[in-house]
Amino acid sequence: MEKILANWESLSVSSGALRFLDTNLRGIGQVMFQDNPLSGALFLAAIAWGSYAAGTPQVAIAGVLAVIVSNLTALWLHVESEPLHSGLYGFNGILVGLALATFLAPGPLLWVYVILGAAVSVVVMLATTNVVKPWGGALTFPFVLTTWLLLLATYGFSGLAGTALPSGAVVTAFQPYKANPLQLIDLGNGVILSISQVFLKGSGISALLLLAGLAVSSLAAAAFALGGAVLAVLTAHLFGAESDLITGGLLGFSPVLTAIALGTVFYRPSWRVVAYAALATVFTVIAQAALNVALTPFAIPALTAPFVLVTWLFLLPRQRLETVAPAANDVEKPVAGA
């Protein structure tokens, strides 16, 4: 594996086209913090399968278009090479493309929206990185902010309509998940879909491809993703969250990202770090439920905002925590130092 990647790397250096392909694949990999083209390729397979299985192939196309537009925008803006080639200007773009095509109806203006959103996500990435560099990376905040504005605006534009947007109706009574030994399979389903929902997909096969993509790059990342999903589903169940949200993975995708970020990317591993990451993961479930409620009047989805909020809160104290030093090769460094 390492040899293949080394060969690929030397090929990429020799060809502008391959370098650009490599940059886009790494951009997809960076959605789950993996600066690795093979991870990106497996994640792309997960997206393609999930979109095909859901009968919405335009979603995968929008994602690919968006990551390309993002990286072209970054080139036009003369960003530094190292973070660009690590995919750091692509991961927000692909998420913008996937989210817009998931929540909006197909049509010519959708593609205008995807291109506009992908380009703006790069500006927001540069802006956010400048603000947060003293303590961490931009995470998926550029994706969240850009997509929220674009989705909110559709309610004022007759040319763009939502198909999957939540309604702004008042919160009503819901059906909490009932514990039942026979239904443990449902909880397991919730764990799996918590992973695929990171890419807005509800597909078990996509989840397996994503776990494979994590594992080829970092076994620890795959383990924290799975552990985070289990912890999130159990926490949501303990507090009596809505059954459909738990089993659909909709309360677990942000905690999965929190667990990977705090457990494997930003801090050196230790039991203290595991406990700290677990506390953050549990609180991300709270934040997800809270934002679901808070965004109801606006009829937009929370996206990965709970992950961004909680991970920022738990990253900020870092410089004060004596024994929790940053790892030498963390993904965040290129962002902060770029």
CB atoms within 10 A of CB 51: 25
Please list, in sequence order, all residues whose beta carbon lies within 8 angstroms of the beta carbon of residue 230, skipping any fewer than 6 positions away.
Answer: 191
Least CB distance from residue 2 to a second copy, whole Å?
33
Contact footprint for a second copy (CB under 8 A): 77-80, 109, 112, 116, 119-120, 123-124, 126-128, 130-131, 134-135, 148-153, 155-160, 168, 170-171, 174, 176, 238-242, 245, 279-280, 282-283, 286-287, 289-294, 297-298, 312-317, 319-323, 338
From residue 22, give the alpha-carbon distance in Å to each of 93, 113, 205, 267: 16, 25, 24, 27
- CB closer to a second copy out of 2 and 322: 322
d(CA 186, CA 192): 10
d(CA 145, CA 68): 20
- CB closer to a second copy out of 3 and 320: 320
- CB closer to a second copy out of 32 and 277: 277
Least CB distance from residue 208 to a second copy, whole Å?
29
- CB closer to a second copy out of 20 and 312: 312
d(CA 243, CA 245): 6
- CB closer to a second copy out of 33 and 276: 276
Least CB distance from residue 230 to a second copy, whole Å?
18
d(CA 203, CA 68): 25
- CB closer to a second copy out of 52 and 157: 157
Q: Which of 143, 92, 129 is nearest to 334 (CA)?
A: 129
Least CB distance from residue 184 to a second copy, whole Å?
19
Least CB distance from residue 282 to a second copy, whole Å?
7
d(CA 154, CA 148): 10
3-class DSSP state for residue 162? strand
Burial letters 280-289, b for 16+ CB under 10 A, else e: bbbbbbbbbb
Least CB distance from residue 16 to a second copy, whole Å?
20
Least CB distance from residue 55 to a second copy, whole Å?
27
The dihedral over CA atoms of 201, 246, 141, 318, expressed in degrees to the nearest 10, equals -130
- CB closer to a second copy out of 40 and 137: 137
